[in-house]
Structure 1
Amino acid sequence: MFIRPAEADDEKLLWAMLYEASYAHENGMDSPDQLRDVPTLAHYVEGWGAAGDLGVVGGFDGVPLGAAWLRLFDAEDPAYGYVDADTPELAIGVAPESRGTGLGTALMSALLDAASEKYDAVSLSVRQENPALRLYQRLGFVEVAGSAKANPAGTTSVTMVLRFH
């Protein structure tokens, strides 16, 4: 397994991992390219490498199969797990063939280590039935009171936050 910092050249991989993370296939999308037409999702990746962006890429045998990244959003254009303008929101995606291998945990750990040196907290949005919810809890994320929201797929998502300081 390898983990390395995400670079501007990784934008295509981030689109692919956002496709996995956002349940886009379940919502009728056939390709990561279609995410570009969904502003509430596109802003997680569009123009990757801007000030404040931080991420890691990982995989096996030199093949990138997952990524975890975070970005700052503002109240005028919030993301799903928006807490405030000083708290970046984390996104993570792992290719289906690499789930259950520990790659997601390794990506999260590496990103959170890097984030703790730059930010006071990190937030995320997760579906309540997503198995990754348990990972987030183990890593110290706690649900933001009153954050449960129904989403278009008929499931409920919650915002979680991890405070470093």
Structure 2
Amino acid sequence: MLLDPAVQLRLAIPEDDVFIVEMARHASVIEGWPLPDLESEGVHSLLPADGEVSIVAVKAGGRRVGAVWTLHNEPPLRVGSAGVPLPELCIAVVPDMRGNGVGNALLDALFVQCAGTQTALCLNVHARNPARKLYQRRGFEDIGQGRGPLGIAMQKDL
């Protein structure tokens, strides 16, 4: 699906921090369940540290509608062949914009940003998360057990 031309992608700026926390809340919950508290450990474990790549999707008029970023957790979800932890990605789109190409565009932009410095990206997805199909379409493959009993680790080579 093509992205609505009224939606633009850009690197995140400090003014996006509150929105990225909100997107981490969406990314950390199973669809249909209530969003976790802002202060929950699950939300904070998904936030990008300084130096990570963060991209925001913004509609005309300035409304932010999605974000994707890299992060490094301890322990890492996946270690590359050189023994270096792979960046993990986190992505979320506001509910009323899902299925409109925002997630595809965010992932593609992240791949471009990371291609020069990373060999691969990984992610953790709940087995029942419908976004798993999106990740498969964008080239991610199941690589084993992820975080939690229903977590699936996926990886995409860049």
Normalising by the residue count of structure 1, what TM-score does the alignment of the two structures yield?
0.78
Paired amino acid for 1:12: V
For residues 148 and 120 of structure 1, the distance between their equivalents in structure 2, rounded to whole angstroms, comes to 20
Displacement of 1:8 in angstroms is 3.0
Alignment of 1:13-92 (within 5 A): 13-23=19-29, 26=33, 29=36, 34-38=37-41, 40-45=42-47, 48=48, 50-51=50-51, 53-61=52-60, 62-75=62-75, 78=76, 82-84=77-79, 85-92=84-91
Q: Residues 8 and 49 of structure 1 are in contact (CA less than 8 Å); yes or no, is this contact kept in structure 2?
A: no
Q: After superposition, what is the alpha-carbon deviation per residue over 1:8-67, rounded to whole angstroms, capped at 9, x for unaligned?
A: 3321111111111111772563xxxx23231x430321xx4513x001100322211100
**SS at the partner of 1:56?**
strand
Change beyond 3 A, Cα 1:28–1:73? closer
Q: Aligned residue for 2:121? A: 122
Q: Residues 7 and 49 of structure 1 are in contact (CA less than 8 Å); yes or no, is this contact kept in structure 2?
A: no
For residues 5 and 28 of structure 1, the distance between their equivalents in structure 2, rounded to whole angstroms, comes to 25
2:157 aligned with 1:158, yes or no? Answer: no
Point out where structure 2 has 5 or more consecutive residues left out of the alignment. Answer: 1-6
**SS at the partner of 1:36?**
coil
Displacement of 1:123 in angstroms is 0.6
For residues 87 and 149 of structure 1, the distance between their equivalents in structure 2, rounded to whole angstroms, comes to 15
Displacement of 1:149 in angstroms is 5.7
Point out where structure 1 has 5 or more consecutive residues left out of the alignment. Answer: none
Displacement of 1:150 in angstroms is 4.8
Paired amino acid for 1:69: W
For residues 49 and 24 of structure 2, the distance between their equivalents in structure 1, rounded to whole angstroms, comes to 16
Paired amino acid for 1:23: V
Q: Residues 150 and 157 of structure 1 are in contact (CA less than 8 Å); yes or no, is this contact kept in structure 2?
A: yes
Normalising by the residue count of structure 2, what TM-score does the alignment of the two structures yield?
0.82
Runs ≥4 in structure 1, deviation > 6 angstroms? Answer: none
For residues 106 and 20 of structure 2, the distance between their equivalents in structure 1, rounded to whole angstroms, comes to 13
* C-alpha RMSD over aligned residues: 2.1
Change beyond 3 A, Cα 1:161–1:96? same
Count of matched residue positions in the alignment of Structure 1 and Structure 2? 146
Change beyond 3 A, Cα 1:149–1:70? closer
